[in-house]
């Protein structure tokens, strides 16, 4: 009736869940944090003012960060300032036809950011996120442009998400170090 593989899989999943709870693992985002730490993290994130980021892609990145860090409102004067620098994207050929025509391109971004306290402007966290993705080049120039735009939007969204996670973990570590 029951497959041995299925039973062992169920036992393994239960074992993993039990071992995670025993090791002190606490998820970054919880609805009920320990000693109100989830509220603290959300409050601190909502106090970050994100400086203007140069260029068209910079503005897209800033909008993504705003929606992730403080979705309810844009901070006018917060406790923190976030400077983000999007480096020049590196484009390289991945797929090449026999006639030396590229059929696939890879685009790489390296984004650096610094979180400062405000108004003291002391550095609190420096970090970087590197991501890459690729897109196909078709016979139609319009479809190639759309594929590139969609890929760039996805990359910028992923980078913004990684920055938000890194900032959240920074504030989570602050809470844990205060409790110890």
* pLDDT for the residue numbered 148: 84
* pLDDT for the residue numbered 164: 92
* pLDDT for the residue numbered 24: 57
- Segments in the chain below pLDDT 50: 1, 31-32
Domains of the chain, CATH where assigned:
31-179 (3.30.160.150)
pTM as predicted: 0.74
Within 49-134, residue ranges assigned H as helices are: 55-69
* pLDDT for the residue numbered 94: 75
> What's the token pair of residue 99?
């006639």
* pLDDT for the residue numbered 93: 77
- DSSP H or E segment with residue 10: helix 4-22
- End-to-end CA separation in angstroms for the chain: 51
- Residues ≥6 apart with Cβ < 8 Å to 135: 104, 105, 107, 144, 147, 148, 150, 151
Q: CA gyration radius for the chain?
A: 22
- For residue 31, CA distances in Å to 19, 38, 39, 66, 82 come to 21, 7, 9, 21, 26
């Amino acid at each position: 009736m029951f497959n041995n593989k299925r039973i062992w899989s169920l036992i393994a999943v239960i074992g993993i869940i039990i071992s995670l709870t025993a090791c002190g693992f606490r998820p970054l985002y919880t609805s009920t944090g320990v000693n109100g730490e989830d509220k603290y993290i959300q409050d601190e994130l909502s106090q970050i003012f994100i400086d203007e980021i140069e260029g068209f892609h910079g503005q897209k990145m800033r909008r993504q960060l705003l929606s992730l860090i403080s979705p309810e409102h844009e901070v006018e004067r917060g406790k923190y300032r976030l400077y983000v620098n999007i480096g020049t994207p590196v484009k390289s050929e991945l797929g090449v036809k026999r006639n030396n025509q590229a059929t696939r391109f890879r685009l790489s971004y390296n984004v650096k950011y610094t979180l400062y306290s405000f108004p003291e402007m002391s550095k609190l966290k420096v970090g970087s996120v590197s991501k890459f993705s690729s897109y196909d080049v078709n016979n139609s120039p319009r479809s190639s442009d759309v594929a590139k735009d969609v890929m760039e939007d996805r990359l910028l969204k992923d980078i913004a998400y990684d920055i938000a996670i890194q900032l959240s973990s920074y504030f989570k570590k602050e809470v844990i170090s205060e409790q110890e």
